[in-house]
Structure 1
Amino acid sequence: MALLITNKCTNCDMCEPECPNNAISMGDSIYEINPSLCTECKGHYEKPTCESVCPINNCIITDPEHIETDEQLLEKFVIIQGLA
């Protein structure tokens, strides 16, 4: 399950530098998460760092368009890190 930044985003710049996969970047008006790079921090941390540092409640949610299992997220982590 990739994550999604909602329109509640205030562009506080907290999430982007915390993403270990560089999946977060500035979009047209708010930060966006690239679902092909988002592993919900699987392989890095116990929970997503972007959610941990975001000061807005429920600003970062599960992306309903990109549902993945923990196994799929870990496989993506291995590929992104070049461990495969």
Structure 2
Amino acid sequence: MKNTYTVADRKYLKAFGARVRALRKAAGFSQEDFALEIGLDRTYMGGVERGERNLALLNLRKIACGLKISVAELLVFPAK
């Protein structure tokens, strides 16, 4: 069964993905190297950055730890 998101949900996921991408690039990681560093698949990270994934809490923690920031800081982004 495929998830169905509202337009607002999709915009929010895309805005979050853009935040993750910007922070990853600022930290000097390629998508592949970052995924290896935090123990997630590169294709999963690509889906996150494109706003195609609705993340689980533990994966949010992995991403934040990999970027050396708090989960709260990771979640500060402009919702479009």
**Short-chain TM bin:** 0.3 to 0.5
Q: TM-score, normalised by structure 1?
A: 0.37
When you count strand as a share of all residues, which structure comes out higher?
A: 1
Q: TM-score, normalised by structure 2?
A: 0.38
